[in-house]
Chain A
């Protein structure tokens, strides 16, 4: 077996913490992910442990690991593990830690497509070697910056000859259908995935692809026919159907042919926003060169101070200029932006550059990802995941305070709250756009006069000063924007 890439021990946020089962890893009882000592482990039952031994010895698996397409995994020495939920498992694996866990409803179109292509590539490599994956979920994938990585090692198992891929339905629901939705109809898929943990049903999607739309690439077979056969065989057990397919001559070659057809289809799907999207967008990005230079210098200096950051959150990342800048001073940067087209373009550029430290995500800051799935914790809320030590909030406060009516004290509270776990090293770089700035004035013009009496620089500075020590401030040359570098005060301090 090829040695897996070293398992980085970054993000050990909770050393010596007791083992904690991952709330998103219960569906397959044969194995379970848990967290202990700031590291990620996977407990394997007897069958899964046997499958792992076969997998670890397989040439294809070593190759995928070495290429970084599968998350770094090694067998953990039970002696080194602290108190054991570990004891109930036959074997325990240690995984590479993913710097920031994200979900498919936070990805852009090209991200979801690249994730789907990686899943198919892994399967097309595994099948000829006699392995398959038990499932086909978009949640099997995560990111190292702009590079997708397959994380569900427990999903691999030896293939049984004559059986189709068990994960095909899940692949359709969580990967293919969202891609079809966006590529063929121009609809953003994120809200669909966010509200349906198991993805989009064939029957649901079929309703959107009536008339001549049914002839778009992939729709007739994967949506219409799939739904029709599903309805027809709703009463037939999968065991019976598996046996019948085997009798009728279903073969491994056929599995590969299906995967090849899927690969070809997904590779052809593409989405570009209408040109009008960008023409409207450019008008909103009006900085003078002098402003831009001063702003970049301020941000770079703020990032360079103090210890190297582990995680920077760039809120309202736009084209990612400041995320890329931050990547020079931090282990990892999460670039959050609400416009799916902007995130998609940023992702494609980061991917082309091979950038592994900047993760772009689609999210509306006034409506960040809630918890989801079973008990609302199977998928973590953004708030539960966003433990940064630097927060960049550049040209974003006015969008929340004026555009979305969020009270100014709450905006400041929220920004500082993202630094709760950072301790003394936490830094907030925030830009306040004055009410007389053209951008703020445009937002204010859409609201009744006098609605935001508190939206003033003095008031913002007072609120920020209550929650942070203001280390530095800089008014940009245009005179309508001010940048602040703040370090959070003890959060027990009373606020006004």
Chain B
């Protein structure tokens, strides 16, 4: 396994590149947001266990 890059690439800076990349990228960004959103709802019941 390779070691991680030495530079902090910045989480926001990684995500914004999807939007910069055009239509296909916006789709990736939308998918990412959707998954984050739905995972929040999915996680909630497990927390109450």
- The contact string, 1 if C-beta is below 8 Å from chain A, for chain B 7-33, is 111111111111111101101110110
Structural contact, A172 and B7, CB atoms closer than 8 A: no
Structural contact, A254 and B28, CB atoms closer than 8 A: yes
Find residues 246-277 in chain A having any chain B CB closer than 8 Å to their own CB.
247-251, 253-255, 257-258, 261-262
In Å, the complex CA distance between A492 and B8 comes to 50
Q: Which of A168, A251, A261 contacts B13 (CB 8 A)?
A: A168
Structural contact, A261 and B20, CB atoms closer than 8 A: yes
The answer to the question of B6 belonging to the interface, with a C-beta cut-off of 8 Å to chain A, is yes
User: Which A residues touch B9, using CB under 8 A?
Assistant: 164, 166-169, 238
Structural contact, A254 and B21, CB atoms closer than 8 A: yes
Structural contact, B15 and A47, CB atoms closer than 8 A: no
The answer to the question of A424 belonging to the interface, with a C-beta cut-off of 8 Å to chain B, is no
Given contacts A47-B2, A225-B19, A239-B4, contact A245 B14 (CB under 8 A): yes
Structural contact, B13 and A172, CB atoms closer than 8 A: yes
The answer to the question of B46 belonging to the interface, with a C-beta cut-off of 8 Å to chain A, is no
User: Which B residues touch A284, using CB under 8 A?
Assistant: none
The answer to the question of B48 belonging to the interface, with a C-beta cut-off of 8 Å to chain A, is no
The answer to the question of A356 belonging to the interface, with a C-beta cut-off of 8 Å to chain B, is no
In the complex formed, the residue of B with least CB distance to A160 is: B2
The answer to the question of A233 belonging to the interface, with a C-beta cut-off of 8 Å to chain B, is yes
Q: Which of A28, A244, A262 gathers the greatest number of chain B CB atoms within 10 Å?
A: A244
Q: Output the least CB separation between A286 and chain B (Å).
A: 50
Structural contact, A258 and B25, CB atoms closer than 8 A: yes
Structural contact, A238 and B8, CB atoms closer than 8 A: yes
State the main secondary structure of chain B at its contact with A: helix
The answer to the question of A134 belonging to the interface, with a C-beta cut-off of 8 Å to chain B, is yes
The answer to the question of A375 belonging to the interface, with a C-beta cut-off of 8 Å to chain B, is no
Q: Which of A134, A230, A239, A248 contacts B10 (CB 8 A)?
A: A230
User: Which A residues touch B12, using CB under 8 A?
Assistant: 226-234
Structural contact, A236 and B11, CB atoms closer than 8 A: yes
The answer to the question of A442 belonging to the interface, with a C-beta cut-off of 8 Å to chain B, is no
In Å, the complex CA distance between A390 and B11 comes to 50
Q: Which of A225, A242, A258 gathers the greatest number of chain B CB atoms within 10 Å?
A: A258
- The contact string, 1 if C-beta is below 8 Å from chain B, for chain A 196-238, is 0000000000000000000000000110011111111110111
User: Which B residues touch A249, using CB under 8 A?
Assistant: 27-28, 31
The answer to the question of B37 belonging to the interface, with a C-beta cut-off of 8 Å to chain A, is no
User: Which A residues touch B22, using CB under 8 A?
Assistant: 257, 261
In Å, the complex CA distance between A221 and B17 comes to 9
In Å, the complex CA distance between A234 and B13 comes to 10
In Å, the complex CA distance between A333 and B3 comes to 42
Q: Output the least CB separation between A148 and chain B (Å).
A: 22
The answer to the question of A131 belonging to the interface, with a C-beta cut-off of 8 Å to chain B, is no
User: Which A residues touch B21, using CB under 8 A?
Assistant: 254-255, 257-258, 261
Structural contact, B35 and A247, CB atoms closer than 8 A: yes
Find residues 145-204 in chain A having any chain B CB closer than 8 Å to their own CB.
157, 160, 163-170, 172
User: Which B residues touch A172, using CB under 8 A?
Assistant: 13
Q: A134-B5, A238-B14, A248-B35 are in contact. List 4 more A-B contacts (CB 8 A).
A: A166-B5, A230-B10, A233-B11, A258-B20
Interface residues in chain A, defined as those with a beta carbon under 8 Å from any beta carbon in chain B: 27-30, 47, 134-135, 157, 160, 163-170, 172, 221-222, 225-234, 236-242, 244-245, 247-251, 253-255, 257-258, 261-262
State the 8 A-B residue pairs at the shortest beta-carbon distance, nearest first: A230-B12, A169-B13, A229-B12, A257-B21, A166-B9, A233-B11, A248-B31, A164-B17
